[in-house]
Amino acid sequence: MEINQYIKELLLLNDCVIIPEFGGFVANYKPATIENNQFFPPTKEIAFNNKLISNDGLLITYISDSEGINYFEAKQKLENFVEETQLNLERNRNVYFDGVGYLHYDSHENLQFEPQLKQNLLVESYGLQNFSYEKLYQRQMPKPAFKVEYKEPVPVIFQKRKLQKLVVAVPLLIAMALIPMKNNKEYLSKSDMGLWEAITQSAPVASVQTQEENVAEFNVEATPASVEEFKYYIIGGSFKSEANANKYLQQLSEQGYSGKNLGVFKGLHRVAMKGFTSIAEAQKELNTILYQSPQSGVWIHTNE
């Protein structure tokens, strides 16, 4: 087995692996990250430090135990590996460490390390893989309807009855001033209040049209935005082959679901198990399916 493979195995359980008289690989913990709707589990970042050259015995002992040789034979084998590695670097060749990265000299003859991890070297993250997820959209609730009453203002200056009498009496008073007094003795013998009542009783009452209050009621309802017949779907699977998608649709039909191929998304045919008009209904059905089959991996697709 190659020595670079031993280095990779030691990095799984150690944070530092030193190659005597050459340098050391240092592993630093990197927490989980989210980039472009993709989740990355915790891992180890590998760096190389050419100042770590002291022999701590870790690598030599591991070679000795793995190959069943004594300590001095393992040390000699490691020294030969270091000489070969330095010779390749001086010839401007890249020295690869399988699954970890490679070493090379830059234009200023500085030793550089380029990490190329092919697997997660953090034991605590064993079994965790990268995965992508769909964006969640805020639930839109329709606004409640409300009523607005509009009343046209009606100006009130005088009471209606007094206004009618005043409109009739003013022209009569003017006319009486122009008539000879002898023709109005019966009116003069009366008191002022009696005169007023006599005038108002004998004179024809002019009709005064009053404006009645008009109350207009408007029912302004906030009409929610038109919604498609099915805006939310529970996705049962995604298939690169349309034939496989059709087979899955047949399986859904046999299980009692009215499946539907929603089309191609990111190169995959997305097959829906069931459609819903509201996110609440879709979420309720999703919870039921996940409760019955936690490993199904179903999720909600939203039509934009």
Helix (H, G, I), strand (E, B) or coil at 20: coil
- pLDDT for 213 beyond 70: no
Judging by DSSP bridges, how do beta strands 23-30 and 16-19 pair with one another?
A: antiparallel
Determine the pLDDT at residue 286: 85
Stretch 276-289: mean pLDDT: 87
d(CA 185, CA 200): 17
Buried b (16+ CB within 10 A) or exposed e, 106-118: eeeeeeebeeeee
Supply 289's token pair: 């399916």
User: Is the model's pLDDT at 196 over the cut of 70?
Assistant: no
Q: Which H or E run contains 186?
A: helix 185-188
CA distances (Å), origin 153, targets 160, 162, 214: 17, 21, 9
How are strands ordered across the β-sheet holding 131-132? 33-35, 38-40, 131-132
Quick: pLDDT tens for 28-60.
888 888 877 677 788 888 899 989 999 999 999
pLDDT for residue 26:
92
Q: pLDDT band at 62, cuts 50/70/90?
A: very high
Position 216 pLDDT exceeds 50: no
Give the start-to-end residue ranges of the domains of the chain: 3-132, 159-207, 232-302
2 pLDDT above the threshold of 50? yes
Q: Which residue has the tokens 């010839």?
A: 91
State residue 257's pLDDT score: 82
> Is pLDDT of 158 > 90?
no
Tell me which of 119 and 103 has the higher pLDDT.
103
Residue bearing the bigger pLDDT, 181 or 290 = 290
Confidence bin at 127 (pLDDT 50/70/90): low
Separation between Cα atoms, residue 271 and residue 245, nearest integer Å:
7
What pLDDT is stored for residue 137 in this prediction?
55
Considering the domain 232-302 in this protein, what is its CATH number?
3.30.70.1070
Check if the beta carbon of residue 41 is closer than 8 Å to that of residue 128: yes
Cβ-in-10-Å burial (0-12, 13-18, 19+) of 271 comes to buried
Report the pLDDT averaged over residues 155-161.
53
Q: What pLDDT band is residue 80 in, cutting at 50, 70 and 90?
A: very high
Is the pLDDT confidence value at 224 over 60? no
Higher pLDDT, 299 or 211: 299
What pLDDT, on the 0 to 100 scale, is given for residue 64? 92
CB 274 within 8 A of CB 284: no
Average pLDDT, the chain: 75
Query: Is the pTM for the entire model greater than 0.75?
Result: no
